[in-house]
């Protein structure tokens, strides 16, 4: 079979010829131009495997001008998205309709392609055999396949369908409803067996009821972790804010006119760094609390054990500690770089006393924050890994109310 590019140009040439032929005189020039545009868009959608768009464009183009090339494109797009029955129907209709004696060579080629591809699509179509049995007296049952009623005459025979998941249901008066879900695979045949069991005297049966899955704890835990990160950011901001205010107080006495002597140049630079770190901490803390609030409000209500709360909280605090340690370490390295130029022989002048003190303070803060952050992160990860997991839904849960002469109740099957 020719490649997609060859088929595209061949089909496009056929469409241009068709729209220029006398048979197209019934359509307006605007309709013919729109059909050409829709054909181009359909081919482009096929090239990028956007089957749904391709089907839409070819259908609309065919409605404006019924050219076989447009119909052929629609069939290929239907087959591409797994709608094999729809593709088979289009191919078969093209073959059945045939072409007039004066059809163009391009139209004849499109019909030949349809005949070849019809056989290939039919070979891919899966099928199902529905076998229905019933206990007790014979009953008249309604059987549906994906909500569509299945004729009683077709039960026990092969029935074609598209690939993918399907559901068969059977109901009858005085019988317990039956339901089977299966997956049809191309070229395969599935056998589905349903049994309609008789209801015990005085018993009323209902359809299976699935227990809903428990809410996921992911959002709630992410909210708690965000709160932990926010708390760590606020503590970081408050700590450096306090140091910044203390440094400002000491500078106010040394710089009464707002102009500091060169001997306090290091103190001024340290004050600027402390203020910047304080602002960064408060901003990070505010963002953490804002995100935590949004996640908490979006999370479904769920019971949370101690580990489910402490784990993400420790994780958030740990990440905040690591961030604080990284920031403090960066400032310490920057300060050390500045001192290296002022202290070439390792001996610093007295005016650098403030920078030396800041270097020691930031270095100690970085080590403490990184150590605490690593410990809290590890503890949070362990707590989360060992926290109880929510139980999944029970498979095949059936709730059966019943009534007898002496009383009633509910029967559950798991």
**Residue 52: CA atoms inside 13 Å, Cβ hemisphere, count?**
0
- Banded model confidence at residue 395, pLDDT cuts 50, 70, 90: very low
Which pLDDT score, from 0 to 100, does residue 182 have?
A: 94
Which pLDDT score, from 0 to 100, does residue 285 have?
A: 76
- Banded model confidence at residue 302, pLDDT cuts 50, 70, 90: low
Phi, psi (rounded to 5 degrees) for 133: -125, 155
Which pLDDT score, from 0 to 100, does residue 235 have?
A: 85
Which pLDDT score, from 0 to 100, does residue 250 have?
A: 67
Rounded distance between C-alpha atoms, residue 48 and residue 41, angstroms: 11
Mean per-residue pLDDT, 216-235:
74
Rounded distance between C-alpha atoms, residue 54 and residue 7, angstroms: 15
Rounded distance between C-alpha atoms, residue 393 and residue 407, angstroms: 30
Q: Who contacts 257 (Cβ-Cβ below 8 Å, separation ≥6)?
A: none
- 216, pLDDT greater than 80: no
Cα torsion angle, 151, 154, 155, 159, sign: negative
- 278, pLDDT greater than 60: yes
Rounded distance between C-alpha atoms, residue 312 and residue 167, angstroms: 41
Pairing of strands 164-171, 142-145: antiparallel
Ordered alpha helix ranges (H), 83-194: 84-97, 105-124
Provide the 10 A C-beta neighbour count for residue 225.
26
Q: Which helix (H) or strand (E) holds 159?
A: strand 158-160
Give the percent of the chain with pLDDT over 90.
Answer: 27
- Banded model confidence at residue 184, pLDDT cuts 50, 70, 90: very high
Rounded distance between C-alpha atoms, residue 145 and residue 168, angstroms: 5
- 22, pLDDT greater than 50: no
pLDDT digits (tens, 9 = 90+) for 304-315: 566 667 767 777
Token code pair at residue 276: 């910047």
Q: Who contacts 72 (Cβ-Cβ below 8 Å, separation ≥6)?
A: 11, 94, 110, 113, 114
Mean per-residue pLDDT, 303-332:
74
The candidate with the shortest Cα–Cα distance to 316, out of 366, 373, 239, 370, is 373
Look at 22-31, 386-395, 405-414 and tell me which has the smallest mean pLDDT. 405-414
Which pLDDT score, from 0 to 100, does residue 389 have?
A: 61
Residue with tokens 């410990």: 375
Q: Is 344 helix (H, G, I), strand (E, B) or coil?
A: coil
pLDDT digits (tens, 9 = 90+) for 102-151: 888 878 888 899 999 999 999 999 999 999 887 766 678 899 999 999 99
Residue with tokens 């629609």: 74
CA 130 to chain centre: 35
């Amino acid at each position: 079979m020719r490649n997609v590019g060859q088929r595209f140009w061949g089909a496009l040439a056929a469409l241009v010829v068709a729209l220029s032929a006398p048979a197209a005189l019934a359509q307006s020039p605007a309709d013919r131009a729109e059909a050409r545009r829709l054909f181009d868009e359909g081919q482009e959608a096929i090239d990028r495997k956007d089957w749904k768009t391709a089907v839409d464009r070819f259908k609309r183009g065919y409605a404006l001008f019924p050219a076989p090339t447009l119909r052929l494109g629609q069939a290929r797009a239907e087959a591409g998205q797994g709608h094999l029955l729809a593709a088979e129907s289009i191919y078969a209709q093209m073959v059945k309709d045939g072409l007039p004696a004066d059809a163009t060579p391009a139209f004849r080629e499109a019909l030949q392609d349809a005949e070849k591809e019809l056989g290939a699509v039919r070979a891919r179509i899966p099928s199902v055999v529905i076998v229905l049995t019933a206990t007790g007296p014979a009953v008249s049952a309604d059987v549906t396949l994906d909500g569509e009623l299945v004729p009683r005459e077709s039960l026990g025979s092969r029935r074609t369908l598209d690939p993918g998941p399907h559901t068969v249901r059977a109901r009858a008066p005085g019988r317990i409803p039956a339901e089977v879900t299966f997956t049809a695979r191309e070229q395969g045949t599935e056998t589905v067996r349903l049994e309609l069991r008789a209801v015990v005297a005085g018993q009323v049966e209902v359809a299976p009821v699935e227990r809903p899955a428990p809410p996921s704890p992911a959002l709630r835990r992410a909210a708690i972790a965000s709160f932990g990160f926010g708390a760590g950011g606020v503590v970081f901001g408050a700590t450096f804010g306090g140091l910044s205010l203390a440094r400002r107080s000491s500078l106010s006495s040394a710089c009464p006119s707002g102009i500091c002597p060169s001997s306090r140049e290091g103190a001024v630079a340290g004050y600027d760094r402390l203020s910047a770190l304080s602002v960064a901490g408060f901003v990070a803390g505010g963002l953490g609390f804002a995100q935590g609030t949004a996640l908490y409000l979006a999370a479904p209500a769920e019971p949370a054990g101690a580990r489910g709360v402490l784990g993400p909280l420790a994780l958030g605090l740990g990440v905040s500690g690591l961030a604080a340690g990284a920031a403090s370490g960066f400032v310490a390295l920057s300060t050390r770089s500045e001192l290296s130029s002022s202290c070439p022989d390792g001996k610093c002048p007295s005016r650098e006393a403030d920078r030396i003190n800041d270097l020691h303070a930031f270095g100690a803060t970085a080590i403490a924050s990184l150590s605490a952050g690593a410990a809290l992160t590890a503890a949070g990860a362990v707590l989360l890994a060992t926290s109880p997991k929510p139980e999944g839904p029970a498979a095949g849960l059936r709730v059966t109310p019943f009534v007898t002469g002496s009383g009633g109740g509910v029967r559950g099957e798991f």
